Structure 1
Amino acid sequence: MITASPVAAIRVEQLAKVFGGLRAVDSVSLGVSPGERRMLIGPNGAGKTTLFHCIAGTLQPTSGQVQLFGEDISRLPENRRTALGMGRTFQISNVCIDLTVRENLILGMLGIDRRKWTMYRSADSLSDLNEKIGTELERVGLVDKVDETVKYLSYGERRQLELALSLASQPKVLLLDEPCAGLSPSERQRFSQLVKDLPHHITLIMIEHDIDVALALADSVTVLHRGKIIFDGTPGDVRSDAQVREVYFGRV
């Protein structure tokens, strides 16, 4: 008996993004299985974030296709992709610093809730949302900061809040764009553990410059250079690949 292969959580086919004469993403094809932890690595300017933007809908690709669990989402806006089960974080922390942790999460959750059009309702009356807030903050270790104004949080705690915001939409696929950038060694270790502990019903695609962090978290690794994939394989193989070593040491 032949068992059908599962539909990829994310499939990218011949994706390209051109800015003038620059091919930032050049005919990239890859598939990420449900529950997989896929790391995207490569030097600055390799096209990693542009590829993320095309997958998430921040940018429209010049050509090619993006599929989410077999559905073509190449031309859908970001909010529609979120509704279909895609979440993401950004390179630069993207939270409302003058609001509290709780208020940030309420706004994020209401964005995908039909009650967002109810203009004159106290946030305290949204008992189900407040329960979810507690759950997400427990997951990322910020329960004791729930009523703290975000501008008084450390940068690492803001990253934890951003992760909670992305998880609050209950994504099936989560894109993390350099979440450990700018963190101290202890914060990087804490955040890496949070990522490692995420449930495996969430498929994870993560850009990470710290190769040790990336390989410790990865099931598989894709290396980009000048908009193209130059390596796609296991963490054990990536360190021994001659072309990857040359790219990271600047000889290509």
Structure 2
Amino acid sequence: MKILVTGVAGFIGSYVCKRLLGRGNEVVGLDNLNDYYDMNLKYGRLGTLGISKDDIDWYKFIGSSEYSSFRFVRMNLEDKQAMQMLFANEHFDKVVNLAAQAGVRYSIENPYAYVESNVDGFLNILEGCRHYKVKHLIYASSSSVYGLNGKVPFSEKDGIAHPVSLYAATKKSNELMAHTYSHLYGIPSTGLRFFTVYGPWGRPDMSPFLFADAMLHHRPIKVFNNGDMLRDFTYIDDIVEGVLRVIDHTPSPDSDWQAEMPDPSTSTAPYKIYN
């Protein structure tokens, strides 16, 4: 298979890419390398995939020194023309969309970045899948879509009507957009609601790294909501294993529905949501 992995310099994206390459898939990796957190971490992840920082430039395809079946390109998802050309030239079998503007609190500071990447960019992904007959779209949603839902543990069948951040709202919109394209154009799609992922090469803005950094530098640990909270974490290897299994299991029109969507019992759209 020829697979597009977006967000390939990200934490999950780099691991998924390495596993795909290790089993013999051809992969094109895309990332815009924004500066939301330390770019050197992103360059380091790409380095493990055989991509040198010195070779990277906008819209330039770079071959890997480690994997003959891997190429990387720096590109924005929201660049409509560039995305159209990418799909037209490459003819992907499957797409794994892990690129997004991440972070919940940052959406208060820079809301436009979330709409541009997570909504406009995702629309470009859907249009590419539609016009170039991609066999399966796998995309990252988020556990944050559950918002004010007080029922625990969460279930894919729970309502997601009350997101409490713009980030969560954009991820819910992704699920609705994917459902619509799946229904209208028969695009098999699977959404994955990740619960905070941790492990080597993880994001420095996440609590395990923030707590460890504070302890190492003898600073107080910041605790939100007076410590009155619980949080689920998932180890990166488990996430990657799940993503690969989903890649290999394309939903069919008679698949059972897993998400809260309009009239799920009557729809024939090949669409799935997993926690």
Q: Give the TM-score category using the shorter length.
A: 0.3 to 0.5
- Give the TM-score, by structure 1 length: 0.33
- Give the TM-score, by structure 2 length: 0.31
> Larger % of strand: which?
1
Q: Which has the higher contact order (CA 8 A, sep 6+)?
A: 1
